[in-house]
Amino acid sequence: MENPDLVIRRARLTDQKKLQDIAIRNGKIARIADSLSAVPEKEIDAHGRLAIPPFVDPHVHLDAVLTVGSPRYNLSGTLIEGIQIWGEKKADLNAQDVKKRAVEAIKWEVVQGTQHIRTHADVCDPGLTALNALLEVKDEVKDYADLQIVAFPQDGILRFPGGADLLEKALAAGADVVGGIPHHERTREDGLESLDIVFKLAQKYNKDIDVHTDETDDDHSRFAEHLAAKTLKEGFEGRVAASHTTAMHSYNNPYAFKVIGLLKEAGISVITNPLDNIALQGRFDTYPKRRGLTRVKELLEAGVNVGIGHDSIMDPWYPLGKGSMLEAAFMCLNVTHMTGYEEMRQIFKALTFNSAHILRLEGYGLEEGNPANLVILNANSEINALRQGAEALYVLRAGMVIAKTEPAKRFFLDQEVKLEVPGIYE
């Protein structure tokens, strides 16, 4: 092996018992072995911390991030009031403002270990302000994050004249993925028709599809079924994602079983958004209140690919969030009762490989020959990373450190306290 530019020493990989050295040359992973004799220019000692490929956020609304309270707060906490407030905000949205907020939120995500992001851009205004702003952002941030942009008809495609034309205009302008929101159309019939339009445009522009699907507590919202059938009919297997699918929590079990089977057959990935949906759903319930998430455990058991999205970062739908995928995953595993040992590891995998599959990323993963995009987390296992919301000590992109975090030290009297018990969850 030629002399590497950088070697990361003593890193823990999720699939290896022994600590590994990772040699990086010309921006790529040159070699991974348990002890490399190479003497590089630079070294990073990982001290047994976890090295992983970057987190992937497959679902966020970067046009709306950091707008909470503007023009007003969501007092009911409902999804519908969120859409109303966003409608008011949209009336005077300007591109500079969108860009500034989006770049800020992307930096928050990158510094916590994310490098691949799929964002939705609302395409219901004639000027396509959000989309045009995010297309510029995509170019501006490309050295530290990859952006995919979904043309997202937040108000529905058929709820106002010219909705389908705007969606098409967005694709012609450079949006990467076709979005939809069938459960928000006026009627079930309009919802079905909106999906016909989504598929027609996806075929015409050769784009993947990512539809906000059944994001409601209404168990009669059944567009996931149709999305799967349509995917099979149109030969779009492996190119479609169903975001949210929260109504599935309230389907009767035999029907949920049927839908999960259809999603699997159609190769549809599901994206769950635990932070928003635990807060937004169940708002019409008294007690007991529903948890508001799709059936993550059952979907994974059936072999459906499930990713986890952040969705909102301080916007009209969810006033909190800090761009941490570990926080979204922590919420997910608690709400979905996935606290079993292997289940927690599965949830961690959803943040990386499952979501990378949704974005159809190439060269993803810590393997020789792949781009040296990786993160060293301040934890010695996936479970400890989830439990502690571990900091990203180093974030590397093409072999360069692009972000780092110095973790806080905690003291009881004058003794440092580490929130970790050696040997457990290693």
User: Closest distance between Fe ion and the C-beta of residue 247, in Å?
Assistant: 15
Tell me which residue of 254, 239, 297 sits closest to 272, measured CA to CA: 297
Cα–Cα distance, 73 to 315 (Å, whole number) = 9
Sign of CA dihedral 367, 370, 374, 376: positive
Query: Counting every residue, how long is the chain?
Result: 426
Say whether 374 sits in a helix, a strand or coil: strand
For Fe ion, give the closer residue by CB, 151 or 366. Answer: 151
Cβ partners under 8 Å of residue 169, min gap 6: 123, 128
Dig out the tokens for 181 from the structure: 């929101």
For Fe ion, give the closer residue by CB, 4 or 82. Answer: 82
Sign of CA dihedral 222, 228, 231, 237: positive
The DSSP call for residue 391 is -
Q: Which amino acid is at 65?
A: V
User: Closest distance between Fe ion and the C-beta of residue 284, in Å?
Assistant: 19
- Which residue is nearest to Fe ion, using beta carbons? 311
User: Closest distance between Fe ion and the C-beta of residue 48, in Å?
Assistant: 37
For Fe ion, give the closer residue by CB, 211 or 376. Answer: 211
Residues forming the site for Fe ion (CB under 5 A) = 311
Cα–Cα distance, 44 to 203 (Å, whole number) = 47
For Fe ion, give the closer residue by CB, 46 or 299. Answer: 299
Say whether 259 sits in a helix, a strand or coil: helix
Type and span of the H or E element at 403: strand 400-404
User: Closest distance between Fe ion and the C-beta of residue 280, in Å?
Assistant: 10
User: Closest distance between Fe ion and the C-beta of residue 210, in Å?
Assistant: 10
For Fe ion, give the closer residue by CB, 311 or 382. Answer: 311
Cα–Cα distance, 373 to 311 (Å, whole number) = 23
Supply the angle between the helices 223-234 and 188-205 in degrees, to the nearest 10. 30
Q: Which are the catalytic amino acids?
A: 215
Tell me which residue of 353, 326, 340, 328 sits closest to 425, measured CA to CA: 340
For Fe ion, give the closer residue by CB, 168 or 311. Answer: 311
For Fe ion, give the closer residue by CB, 122 or 311. Answer: 311
DSSP string over 92-133? T--HHHHHHHHHHHHHHHHHTTEEEEEEEEE--STT-HHHHH
User: Closest distance between Fe ion and the C-beta of residue 180, in Å?
Assistant: 12
Sign of CA dihedral 372, 375, 376, 379: negative
Tell me which residue of 205, 152, 148, 203 sits closest to 182, measured CA to CA: 152
For Fe ion, give the closer residue by CB, 21 or 311. Answer: 311
User: Closest distance between Fe ion and the C-beta of residue 273, in Å?
Assistant: 6
**Residue for token pair 């995919």:** 148
Beta partners for residue 24, in sequence order: 6, 29
User: Closest distance between Fe ion and the C-beta of residue 308, in Å?
Assistant: 13
